[in-house]
């Protein structure tokens, strides 16, 4: 299994490679993952700072906030913090900066890139990111993340009165269909949960027809960042899709490191 430390070192190498093509090493913003905090990138901070590179770990929504706040809201919180940091030292960020993100932080960073019209991100580095969503099926490769969701992340992020993960954790026969069916029904129909849960936002089940339409109508994050909305004659919707794509392709480079 790829370790978090290995991902950090790979990310550092990618930043060094990107920075080498610039006049000077650009500053780095770090986005932590679900339930994480700004200390999660300590190893890479030490390496970059030792090389004289400016590093800032964002702390706009740490620990429980990171899983009990919708990703669309976290994106706006991140934009506010980043703009505030840049405003205090415009010279340091004048030539651009890099985004480095771990796990759920990859989704938030991607959202920032698409929504922040004035961004000057040079390189985006996503480590084990879930920027295109998650879905845990019955295949062996999903066994470990499914257990994490059932035993730790799910119960921590979503109140048992909304969804009781313990009922499925204790019943292994539910892991290959029943849990997925029940949880997907929840995240594709519960608009209130979608409005406050990053875990609900990032689940991307195989959907079609009415179920797909309903999911797109209540999920405030993935349908937008993936430009899945059918805008029809809605001019603002269409303009926003064009704007988000234009913001993303402003990147000079992007590196996506996967993890089993």
Q: What is the pLDDT of residues 87-120, one digit of tens each?
A: 999 999 999 999 999 999 999 999 999 999 999 9
Number of domains making up the chain? 2
Residues 75 and 115 in one domain: yes
Please report whether residue 231 resides in a domain.
no
Residues 125 and 249 in one domain: yes
Please report whether residue 96 resides in a domain.
yes
177 pLDDT band (50/70/90 cuts)? very high
Please report whether residue 151 resides in a domain.
yes
pTM: 0.91
Closest CA to 19 of 46, 66, 55, 43: 55
In the prediction, which pLDDT does 138 show? 86
Q: Which strands sit side by side in the sheet containing 28-31, from one edge to the other? A: 55-57, 28-31, 97-102, 121-127, 253-257
Please report whether residue 235 resides in a domain.
no
Range of the domain at 113: 4-132+242-257
Residues 126 and 27 in one domain: yes
68/5: higher pLDDT: 68
């Amino acid at each position: 299994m790829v370790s978090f430390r290995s991902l950090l070192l790979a990310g550092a190498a990618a930043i060094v490679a990107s920075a080498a093509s610039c006049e000077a090493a650009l500053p780095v913003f770090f986005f932590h993952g679900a339930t994480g905090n700004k200390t999660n990138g300590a190893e890479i901070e030490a390496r970059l700072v030792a090389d004289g590179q400016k590093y800032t770990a964002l702390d706009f929504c740490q620990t429980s906030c990171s899983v009990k706040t919708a990703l669309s809201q976290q994106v706006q919180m991140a934009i506010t913090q980043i703009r505030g940091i840049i405003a205090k030292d415009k010279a340091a960020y004048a030539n651009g900066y890099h985004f480095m993100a771990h796990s759920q932080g990859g989704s938030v960073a991607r959202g920032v890139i698409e929504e922040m019209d004035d961004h000057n991100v040079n390189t985006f580095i996503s480590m084990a990111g879930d920027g295109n969503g998650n879905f845990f099926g019955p295949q062996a490769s999903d066994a470990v993340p499914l257990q994490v969701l059932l035993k730790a992340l799910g119960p921590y992020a979503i109140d048992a009165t909304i969804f009781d993960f313990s009922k499925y954790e204790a019943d292994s026969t539910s892991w290959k269909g029943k849990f997925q069916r029940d949880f997907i029904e929840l995240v594709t129909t519960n608009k209130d949960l979608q409005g406050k849960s990053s875990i609900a936002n990032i689940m991307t089940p195989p959907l079609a027809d009415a179920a797909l339409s309903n999911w797109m109508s209540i999920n405030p994050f993935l349908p937008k960042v993936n430009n899945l909305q059918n805008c029809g004659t809605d001019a603002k919707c269409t303009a926003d899709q064009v704007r988000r794509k234009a913001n993303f392709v402003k990147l000079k480079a992007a590196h996506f490191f996967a993890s089993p």
